[in-house]
Structure 1
C-alpha cells in the first residue's frame, strides 16, 4: 500500500493556482493549531470528531463544527465513562473499585499528530484522537492511552525505546440481528459462503476484493499504512499486519483500523468482528505483537550484542514475559469470550513457553537478522484494547530486564496441546492482576482498581445470560 499521499490533486480541484505548504499535505497529522486550522480549511472540513478510547477501546468523545474546534474550546467528558462495562452498565463498588463521588469532568486534549479525515462520511468530516487530563491539567493515570504512555516513560528513563508491530486478525460475518443465533460467514463474490482451511489463500482474499479495496482506500485517506493482508485459517477470517514503529502510533493505528474495517464491512452489508472466538469450532482471532527495544542514544537493538549474538536483556525480556504475562493476561484477554480462544489444539498458545520460530509457544522468536531480533507475543486476542495490550506486554518485558530474570529453556516441540498453563477464565486473570505488587509501579494502582472493577461487572452481566449449552444439557437431565 502506498505511503501517505499528497493531496495536491484534491487541491488543484479547489484552487488551480494555490500551492499547499508541505506541512499541510500529509494525510495524517499537523504540528500546531495554526496548521490544524489551515489543514481543515484546505479540505473543506465541516465537522470534527474528537475521540478517545475507553477501557474497552471503544471510541468516545464529542463532535463539533471545525470552527469551534480551532477556537480554543475546552472539551470535557464525565470521568464515569471509564467505569462502565462493555454493555454500558455501571458495576457496584467492590474492593478498590470506587466512583468519583462528584463524577468530575476530565478534559479531552487533542493530539494534533493524529488529525485525519473520516473517509466514510458523506459530509467533509475529520477526526482527532485525544489524550485525557484532569480539569486542571493534571495526569489521569487510568485511561488507556495514558497507561501505555506511562510504560513508555519507564523505558525512556532507562534510555530505551520499544518498537512494536501488531498483527490483527478478524472475521467477516453475515449480518446477525438476533444474538441468540450463531454467526455465519458471508457470501463472497462467488455467491457462496467461504469455508475454513483457507490459510494464505489468494482466492479467499479475492472473494472480498471490493471490500478490501475499500479498506485500503479508507486507510490511505487516513494516512494509515498496511504492510500485508492475508486470509487466515477460519472462514472469511483475515489478518492485517502493520509496519513496525512507535507503540503509541501503532496503538492509534489499531484503534483506527478497527473502526475503519467495521465501516468498510457495513458498506458491503456484512459485519467485521474482532471477537476472540466468534464461531464455535473455528480458530480464534489474535492480535500478535512483535516487540524489540532500541537504545535511544545509539540506535542499537538492545536485544543484540555487537557480535550479533542475543544479549542478556533479550533473555531477561523473555523471562519477564514468562513470569508476568500470565498475571497481566486480563489486559490482553479482556472478556469471558477471550478464554474460549485459549484452548488446546486451536492454533493458539495455552502456555507461557518460548521458542525459536515455534508458533505453538506463547512467545515466539522469529528468524531474523540481529538488527531485527524481536519477540512475538502470541497471547493477546483481537478483542483487546490495543493500548492496554501493548502496555501489558511491554510492561512485563520491562520488569524482566529490570530484575535480570532468566527464561526457561526454549521449547522445540509442540506445546499448545494438553494442559493449560494460563488463567482459565476472566475472574482468575483479574485476581492475578490485582495480586501482583510490581504492577502498581508499571500500570498504576488507580488503573488496576478501575479495570478490575469493570471486568468483574462484565462477568456479572455475563452470568445473567442462560446459554444454549445449559438448555441442551441441563433442561431435562438434572
Structure 2
C-alpha cells in the first residue's frame, strides 16, 4: 500500500492486506440519515483533496421532494466542499470488490462548516461542552426489526421467516432460541462489523416479533454517531443477503413494540477525566441533577428531532416498552429518563425517548443539547418517580405537527443546535408533514367512505 492507504485505521488496513483497493465511497449523511455521496476509483481518491455536492441534499425530504429552505439566494444548488475524515475510513465488506467508505465533512467556499450538515451540528454541540471544560460521552442502543420482504406498501409488514421455517414470534424478549432463529443474518452482521472495526457490546432479542437490539460501547459522541450511521447500512445489507429486510422504522408492525435508539449519557471533566455525575464519595452531584433537569425541561421542544416522522409517534403507547412522559427514575424502564444500575464512576443518564428512525447525529446532538441547557442553567429535575410511569399522563407531543410547533419556538435549543440548522430542519420537516397530510389512509376509506 502507498499514499493515503498507509494512514488508514487498523481495521481498514487489515481488510485490505495483500489486496488491491478498487473503489472509495465518499459519503455524508443527509437530514434523514441517508448516505449521500460519490463512488470514485481508488486512484482518483488518492489524488483528490475534496469533492463537491450541492447543498440541496439537505433540503430534501424522505420522499425525495424538496423543502423551500434555500434562503434569500433561492434554490441555486450551491456546491459544498466535502473533505474526508480519514479516521472514519472503513470497509464496505458486502460489495463485490475491495471498497472503502469514508465519511466527509461539509464546508462552504470560505472554509466554514455547513451549519445544517448533521455531523457538523453534533460537532457544534460537543464543542460547546468542551468550552465549558466538559467531555460528553454516549453509548447508543440500536433496536430494529428483521421482517419479510415487503415490496408493496399497501401490504402490512410481517415478521421474517426464521430458520425453523416459522415466522418470528413476539413476546420472546432475551430468548437465545429466538436469536438463533436469525443466526445467518446475525453472523453476517458480526462479520461485517468485524471487517469495519466495530465492537458490538451484545445482541439480544427484544419484545417484538423479529426485533433485535445491538448495544455499542460508550465513547465520543461523533464517533458513536458515525458507527450508528454505518451500522444501519451494514445491517440492511446483511438482511438482504438472506431474503429479508432490516427496518429501523419506529413502529413497523401495529401490535408490536416500537424500536428506540436509547442514548446513555455521562459527562467527564476535561482536565481530570472524572465523571462529573459522581462526587468524591460517589454521591450524586448537582450536575447529575441539572443534566436530568435539562432533559425534562427541553426535550419536548427537541422531540421533532428525536422522533422525526409521523410514524415515530405511534411508538409512544402505554405498556409497549416506550415512554409516554419525561419522569425520571432509578432502574425504572417505564420512565422516559432512566438512571441505570452502575458504579459511581460509570453513573449515567439514559434517554429512552429517541426513536431508531432518527438521524443518529441529530438525535444524539439534540439529547446532548437538552442536557447542556440544564447544566448551564442549573435546572433542577422533578422528584424521582417511584412506581409505574405508565399510570401517569403524557407530557410531550404525540403528533409530529405539535412537535414541530414546539421546535420552531425553541429559541434556547436553537442557540445550541444552531439557528440556521433549526431553520432548515423545520422547513424540510414541515414540507414532509404536509405531504403526508395529502395521503388518504385505508382507515379513512374503511370507516368514513359510507358512514359519514
Q: Deviations over 1:81-100 (max 9, x none)?
A: 1001000001346xx97674
Which secondary structure state, in structure 2, belongs to the residue aligned with residue 291 of structure 1? strand
Q: 1:53 aligns with which of 23, 29, 45?
A: 29
Which residue of 2 is the match for residue 34 of structure 1?
none
Structure 2 counterpart of 1:388, from 329, 337, 362: 362
**Could you tell me which residue of structure 1 aligns to residue 409 of structure 2?**
435
Find the counterpart in structure 2 of residue 225 from structure 1: 199
Would you say 1:375 and 2:375 are equivalent positions?
no
Q: Which residue is 1:470 aligned to?
A: 444
SS of residue matched to 1:147? helix
Q: Mean Cα displacement is larger for which, 415-424 or 278-287?
A: 415-424
| Secondary structure in structure 2 of the residue aligned to 1:271 | strand
Q: How does 1:189-228 map to 2 (within 5 A)?
A: 189-228=163-202
Q: Normalising by the residue count of structure 1, what TM-score does the alignment of the two structures yield? A: 0.91
* Structure 1 position 136, deviation (Å): 3.0
Aligned position for 1:71: 47
Correspondence for 1:283 among 257, 279, 287: 257
Unaligned runs of 5+ in 1: 1-10, 12-20, 30-37
User: Unaligned stretches of 5+ in structure 2?
Assistant: none
2-structure distance, mates of 1:23, 1:345? 50
| Inter-partner Cα distance in structure 2 for 1:82 and 1:405 | 34
Q: Is the 8 A contact 1:276 1:383 kept in 2?
A: yes
C-alpha separation in 2, matches of 1:107 and 1:129: 13
Distance 2:98 2:124 in 1: 35
Superposed, 1:87-166 pairs within 5 Å as 87-92=63-68, 100-166=74-140
Q: Which residue of 2 aligns with 1:252?
A: 226
What is the CA-CA distance between 1:23 and the residue it aligns to?
Answer: 6.1
1:321–1:396 Cα contact (<8 Å) kept: yes
Query: Is the 2:59–2:68 contact (alpha carbons within 8 Å) kept by the matching residues of 1?
Result: no
Q: 1:114 to 1:42 in 2, by over 3 A?
A: farther
Inter-partner Cα distance in structure 2 for 1:196 and 1:159 = 46
- Offset of 1:418 from its aligned partner? 5.2
User: What is the CA–CA distance in structure 2 between the aligned matches of 1:61 and 1:124, rounded to whole Å?
Assistant: 18
Provide the rounded CA distance (Å) in 1 between the counterparts of 2:57 and 2:167.
Answer: 39
State the partner residue of 2:147.
Answer: 173
Deviation, 1:455, is 0.6
User: Residues 142 and 73 from structure 1, CA distance in 2 versus in 1: closer, same or farther, beyond 3 angstroms?
Assistant: same
Determine the C-alpha separation between the residues in 2 that align with 1:99 and 1:53.
24
Residues 98 and 450 of structure 1 are in contact (CA less than 8 Å); yes or no, is this contact kept in structure 2?
no
Equivalent residues in 2 for 1:336-347, closer than 5 Å:
336-347=310-321
> Who is 1:83 aligned against?
59
Following TM superposition, by how much is the alpha carbon of 1:296 offset from its aligned partner in structure 2, in angstroms? 1.4
Residue aligned with 2:433, SS:
helix
Cα distance between partner residues in 2 of 1:168 and 1:99? 39
CA distance in 2, matches of 1:205, 1:99: 53
Residue 140 of structure 1 and its aligned partner are, at CA, apart by 1.1
Which range moves more in the overlay, 133-142 or 154-163?
133-142
Contact 1:163 1:247 in 2 (8 A): yes
Runs of 4+ in structure 1 off by over 3 angstroms are 21-25, 38-43, 96-101
Matched positions, count: 450
The 2-side partners of 1:23 and 1:467 are apart by: 53
| SS at structure 2 position matched to 1:27 | helix
1:184 to 2:158 alignment? yes
Partners in 1 of 2:49 and 2:369 — Cα distance?
Answer: 35
Mapped contact 2:141–2:216 kept (Cα < 8 A)? yes
